[in-house]
């Protein structure tokens, strides 16, 4: 499968970058080291970006088989922000109201929430507020990801979850179609509300067992 063909060389690049970073740290020529490290950081960022695209393509291409386990959503959200950088201009508000552990697929829920978070950040190039809410009501888990960004362009509203639909110069248009596939594989639903210039809110509802 193509995913593997791309992933193996990516893995090799990542390991080599690690070695390069070590060697540079030991060089006595500090000015050169600074420049080289800067390049390495950029290469790493771009490799992560390729890696993300490959994951989305794979998630889109393969059947999703959720593997349920006890998941601590607080940890999932914390781990998302270890990889996704929030610019200083964006205020992050996380409200989990003592959200309990739930039975779900850790990798899938992480991917879905992180795709929504990335879109929200990208919708606020001038800054704003990103609010993440999780609550459990009865037998449902409800997640809300809200931004105060530009709003969803009218022309994509009715095709938002279709693959390859993007309004971004460097967009892939896979993020939301993957989110929808994941949510449906977990038996849930996703909806959005959006106002031009005001912001967007995505709501995911997942059914829970007793
Ligand atoms: N939070 C958001 N605010 C405004 N527009 C959004 C938001 N999330 C998604 N969109 C719109 O939906 C399109 C598709 O999103 P997505 O499937 O994640 O692909 P991509 O991010 O690669 O463009 C985006 O290009 C953008 O126009
Ligand atoms: Mg996206």
- Lining ligand 1 with CB less than 6 A are 119-120, 123, 147, 149-153, 156, 160, 165-168, 171-177, 200
Nearest-atom index, ligand 1, CA of 153: 27
Instruction: From 176, 181, 200, 204, give the residue whose CB has the most ligand 1 atoms within 8 Å, as the site to mutate.
Output: 176
Task: Classify burial at 83, counting beta carbons within 10 Å of its beta carbon; exposed 0-12, middle 13-18, buried 19 or more.
Answer: exposed
**SS3 state of residue 119:** helix
Architecture of domain 69-207: 2-Layer Sandwich (3.30)
Q: What secondary structure does DSSP assign to 73-111, as a single string?
A: HHHHHHHHHHHSPPPTTEEEEEE-TTPPPEEE-HHHHHH
User: 1: which DSSP letter?
Assistant: -
Q: Per-residue pLDDT for the chain (210 aa), expressed as one digit of tens each?
A: 667 788 889 999 999 999 999 999 888 888 888 889 999 999 998 998 888 888 888 878 888 899 999 999 999 999 999 989 999 999 999 999 889 899 999 999 999 999 999 999 999 999 999 999 999 998 999 999 999 999 999 999 999 999 999 999 888 899 999 999 999 999 999 999 999 999 999 999 999 986
Q: Residue 75 Cα, ligand 1 centroid: separation in angstroms?
A: 25
Read off the tokens for 181. 């596939």
> Whose C-alpha lies nearest to ligand 1, atom 11?
152
Q: Residue 33 Cα, ligand 1 centroid: separation in angstroms?
A: 38
* pLDDT value of position 49: 85
* pLDDT value of position 95: 95
**SS3 state of residue 62:** coil
Which residues, in sequence order, are CB contacts of 182 under 8 Å at separation 6+? 59, 64, 108, 109, 111, 112
Nearest-atom index, ligand 1, CA of 123: 3
> Whose C-alpha lies nearest to ligand 1, atom 10?
152
Nearest-atom index, ligand 1, CA of 178: 17
What does the pLDDT look like over 3-55, one tens digit per residue? 778 888 999 999 999 999 999 988 888 888 888 999 999 999 899 888 888 88
* pLDDT value of position 1: 61
Which residues, in sequence order, are CB contacts of 37 under 8 Å at separation 6+? 21, 24
Chain center to CA of 91: 17
Q: Residue 175 Cα, ligand 2 centroid: separation in angstroms?
A: 4
Interatomic CA distance for residues 129 and 88, integer angstroms: 11
Instruction: From 56, 90, 115, 119, give the residue whose CB has the most ligand 1 atoms within 8 Å, as the site to mutate.
Output: 119
Mean pLDDT score across all residues of the chain = 93
Q: How many secondary structure helices (H) and strands (E) does the chain include?
A: 5, 7
Q: Residue 154 Cα, ligand 2 centroid: separation in angstroms?
A: 17
* pLDDT value of position 28: 84
């Amino acid at each position: 499968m193509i995913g593997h063909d791309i992933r193996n060389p990516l893995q090799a690049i990542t390991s080599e970058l690690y070695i390069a970073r070590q060697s540079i740290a030991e060089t006595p020529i500090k000015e050169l080291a600074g420049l080289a490290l800067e390049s390495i950081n950029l290469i790493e960022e771009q490799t992560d970006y390729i890696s993300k695209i490959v994951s989305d393509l794979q998630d889109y291409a393969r059947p999703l088989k959720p593997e349920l386990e006890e998941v601590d959503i607080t940890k999932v959200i914390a781990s998302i922000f270890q990889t996704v950088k929030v610019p200083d201009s964006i205020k992050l508000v996380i409200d989990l109201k003592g959200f309990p552990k739930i039975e779900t697929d850790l990798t899938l829920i992480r991917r879905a929430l992180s795709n929504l978070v990335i879109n929200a950040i990208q919708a606020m190039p001038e800054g704003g507020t990103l609010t993440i809410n999780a609550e459990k009501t009865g037998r449902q888990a409800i997640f809300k990801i809200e931004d105060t960004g530009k709003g969803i362009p009218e022309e994509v509203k009715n095709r938002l979850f279709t693959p390859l639909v993007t309004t971004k110069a460097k967009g892939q248009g896979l993020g939301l179609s993957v989110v929808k596939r994941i949510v449906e594989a977990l038996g849930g639903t996703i909806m959005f509300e959006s106002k031009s210039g005001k912001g967007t809110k995505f709501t995911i509802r997942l059914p829970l067992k007793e």
